């Protein structure tokens, strides 16, 4: 409760994600906090703690506050169609994009090798202006056309990979698969 009240953890988690923007010129410990864009590793750290935060809330009022914060974050992340974020949100606030979750599970590539992939030249994509979140296109391209990446990466990165020199372990698929089984989204 001390962290929630004295150190503003509850207030911070309830900041509307649509209002988050760079803080150019704000220097903390010699670092300009306004440099760079959206950090998808922060999304991963947040979503992976939401489950526990929500399930073990001290009060029903806190549980409601957490559900609202989780829903707000998920709405910001929804265009990425990440099955893990969808399923964590389903298990907490109850919101859920079943179509995106099933699309993720059905189209996830079996080849986990990080081949070099280039899509930034494509003429069939509707490109967006540069933005803080790094969403490059209006809609997400299919998973098997994207550079192979983990959950903490920007799903809208069009180019990437490392020439086939590395391979992901498979937990990128197994976590949402088993979550979907646990939540009875799939049997």
Each residue of 85-138: pLDDT tens digit? 999 999 999 999 999 999 999 999 999 999 999 999 999 999 999 988 899 999
Report the alpha-carbon distance of residue 84 to residue 151 in Å, rounded. 8
Task: State the Cα–Cα distance between residues 157 and 33, nearest whole angstrom.
Answer: 22
Residue 73 has pLDDT above 80, yes or no: yes
DSSP conformation class of 147 = P
Q: Report pLDDT for 174.
A: 97
In this structure, the strands spanning 27-28 and 31-32 are antiparallel
Distance between CA atoms of residues 172 and 109, nearest Å: 10
pLDDT for 14: 94
Q: pLDDT-derived band of residue 148, with 50, 70 and 90 as boundaries?
A: very high
pLDDT of residue 32: 81
Beta strands in 86-153 (DSSP E): none
Name the residue ranges covered by the structural domains of the chain: 2-182
CB neighbourhood size of 29 (10 A): 5
First and final CA of the chain: distance in angstroms? Answer: 39
Condensed to tens digits (0 to 9), the pLDDT of residues 13-70 reads 999 998 887 777 888 888 887 777 788 889 999 999 999 999 999 999 999 999 999 9
Tokens 């907490």 sit at which residue? 92
């Amino acid at each position: 409760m001390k962290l929630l009240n004295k150190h503003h953890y509850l207030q911070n988690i309830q900041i509307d994600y649509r209002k988050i923007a760079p803080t150019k010129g704000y220097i903390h410990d010699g670092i300009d906090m306004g440099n760079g864009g959206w950090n998808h590793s922060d999304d991963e750290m947040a979503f992976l703690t939401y489950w526990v935060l929500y399930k073990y809330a001290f009060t029903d009022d806190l549980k409601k506050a957490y559900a609202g914060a989780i829903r707000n974050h998920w709405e910001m992340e929804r265009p990425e169609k990440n099955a893990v974020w969808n399923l964590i949100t389903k298990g907490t606030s109850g919101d859920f994009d079943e179509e995106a979750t099933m699309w993720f599970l059905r189209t996830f590539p079996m080849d986990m090798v990080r081949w070099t992939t280039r899509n930034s030249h494509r003429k069939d994509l509707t490109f967006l202006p540069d933005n803080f979140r790094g969403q490059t296109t209006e809609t997400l391209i299919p998973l098997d056309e994207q550079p192979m990446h983990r959950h903490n990466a920007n799903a809208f990165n069009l180019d990437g990979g490392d020439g086939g020199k590395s391979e992901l372990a498979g937990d990128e698929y197994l976590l949402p698969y088993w979550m979907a089984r646990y939540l009875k989204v799939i049997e």
